Amino acid sequence: MTDEEPIIEFKHVTFRYDGQEGHPAVQDVSISIYEGEYVALLGLNGAGKTTLQLCVNGVVPHSIMGDFEGQVLVNGLDVYDAEVRETAKTVGMVFDNPEFQMSQMTVAEEIALGLENLGVPPDEMHRRIPRVLDVVGLSGLEERSPFGLSGGQQQRLSIASALAMNPKILVMDEPTSNIDPIGKEEVFSVAAKLNKEQGMTVLIAEHEIEVMAAFADRVIVMDNGKVVVNGSPAEVFAQVDFLNNLGLRAPQVTEFGYKLGQTGRFDLKGQFPVVLSEAVSEFGAMLPGGGDSK
């Protein structure tokens, strides 16, 4: 990936909200995200995740007042010089509470609203709406009220509304925090499908550690507005003590591997599984009944 141009690039970005005391919401962040990556953004509430995501579509610094320093490039476009309307053609945003974003009488009208704002002709709208509803598994619900959908369906409708813009990047800010387990699975499945089958770049802030371990190519951890860890899931989640000190945790199978290593009975060389299938493969022969211990 090092020979590619990043699709998202933060260069020494700092942002402080008007009237904010203490450390800035984002402090001197420099990271690159490449096309087709699935990047998980982790951190406690107030770590700076949402602010960093709002920089991607230009809401920061254009629509939210504050002091902005540095540069954010999205698909080669400097968001400081571009209007949010222009950035919306490249970046689709999905927030944590889908019901708060909905205002139209039908599912089709909800998707059409954003397209109207971009000046998309009606004929093109009629082509796009069924296509994006099919992608998110809501075909046939065009005339349903958005407020009659389940939480998971509402969030999938939010994703469909974003996809209708034909973005290259999907930014999701804790998209499952207000929906039930079934709805969470629906949303994560759609995001994974878009990433794996369509090559869409996904930047998602989430607290569902096991899911991020399973889907993410890269994990970025933030604390007090700074990026403190940036690497593969295996590299990041292996730092169990460091994450715990931040108030975060590693996947359960990773913590299990870490504790096994601490017993001194197993030499794991600092390499721990991050998903259950890896744990079964790596530890099966080590545990009683699974074969000879090492």
pLDDT at 267: 62
Q: Please indicate, yes or no, whether residues 164 and 222 belong to a single structural domain of this protein.
A: yes
Quick check: 58 and 264 in contact, CB under 8 A? no
Which has the minimum average pLDDT: 60-74, 114-128, 199-213? 114-128
Q: Note whether residue 278 is domain-resident.
A: yes
26-33 β-sheet, strand order: 26-33, 8-17, 66-74, 77-78
* Averaged pLDDT score across all residues of the chain: 89
pLDDT bucket at 286, cuts 50 / 70 / 90 = low
Q: Please indicate, yes or no, whether residues 271 and 245 belong to a single structural domain of this protein.
A: no
Q: Note whether residue 1 is domain-resident.
A: no
**Burial environment of residue 226 by CB neighbours within 10 A (0 to 12, 13 to 18, 19 or more):** middle
For residues 136 and 153, give the distance between their C-alpha atoms in angstroms, rounded to a whole number: 9
Q: Please indicate, yes or no, whether residues 259 and 237 belong to a single structural domain of this protein.
A: no
Residue 42 has pLDDT above 80, yes or no: yes
Q: Please indicate, yes or no, whether residues 188 and 229 belong to a single structural domain of this protein.
A: yes
Q: Please indicate, yes or no, whether residues 245 and 292 belong to a single structural domain of this protein.
A: no
pLDDT at 102: 84
**Range of the structural domain that residue 269 is part of:** 251-294
Q: Note whether residue 66 is domain-resident.
A: yes
pLDDT at 284: 66
Q: Please indicate, yes or no, whether residues 92 and 103 belong to a single structural domain of this protein.
A: yes
Local structure of 24: helix, strand or coil: coil
pLDDT at 3: 66
What mean pLDDT do residues 263-283 have? 72
For residues 31 and 24, give the distance between their C-alpha atoms in angstroms, rounded to a whole number: 17
Q: Please indicate, yes or no, whether residues 95 and 111 belong to a single structural domain of this protein.
A: yes
Residue 261 has pLDDT above 90, yes or no: no
What is the percent of the chain with per-residue pLDDT over 70, rounded to a whole number? 92
What mean pLDDT do residues 14-40 have? 96
Quick check: 117 and 165 in contact, CB under 8 A? no
For residues 244 and 87, give the distance between their C-alpha atoms in angstroms, rounded to a whole number: 37
Q: Note whether residue 3 is domain-resident.
A: no
What are residue 42's DSSP bridge partners?
221
Q: Please indicate, yes or no, whether residues 241 and 292 belong to a single structural domain of this protein.
A: no
Q: Please indicate, yes or no, whether residues 47 and 127 belong to a single structural domain of this protein.
A: yes
pLDDT at 260: 78
| pLDDT tens-digit map of 78-104 | 999 998 888 888 999 998 887 777 889
For the chain, how many structural domains are there in total? Answer: 2
pLDDT bucket at 268, cuts 50 / 70 / 90 = low
Tokens representing residue 288 in the block: 């009683």
pLDDT at 59: 93
Locate tokens 């609203």: which residue? 113
201-205 β-sheet, strand order: 91-94, 169-173, 201-205, 38-42, 218-223, 226-231
Q: How many residues does the chain have?
A: 294
Q: Please indicate, yes or no, whether residues 69 and 46 belong to a single structural domain of this protein.
A: yes
Q: Please indicate, yes or no, whether residues 160 and 267 belong to a single structural domain of this protein.
A: no
Q: Note whether residue 41 is domain-resident.
A: yes
pLDDT at 262: 77
Q: Please indicate, yes or no, whether residues 293 and 202 belong to a single structural domain of this protein.
A: no
For residues 161 and 112, give the distance between their C-alpha atoms in angstroms, rounded to a whole number: 8
Quick check: 221 and 246 in contact, CB under 8 A? yes
pLDDT bucket at 1, cuts 50 / 70 / 90 = very low
Q: Note whether residue 2 is domain-resident.
A: no
Residue 107 has pLDDT above 70, yes or no: yes
The DSSP code for 146 is G
Which has the minimum average pLDDT: 28-37, 170-179, 232-241? 170-179
Q: Where do runs of H (alpha helix) occur along 57-106? A: 59-62, 84-87, 98-101
Q: Residue 196: which CATH number?
A: 3.40.50.300
Locate tokens 């407020």: which residue? 147
Question: How many CB atoms neighbour CB 244 within 10 A?
Answer: 12
Q: Note whether residue 78 is domain-resident.
A: yes
pLDDT at 104: 92
What mean pLDDT do residues 214-229 have? 97
What mean pLDDT do residues 112-118 have? 88
Residue 292 has pLDDT above 60, yes or no: no
Give pTM, 2 decimals.
0.89
Q: Note whether residue 35 is domain-resident.
A: yes
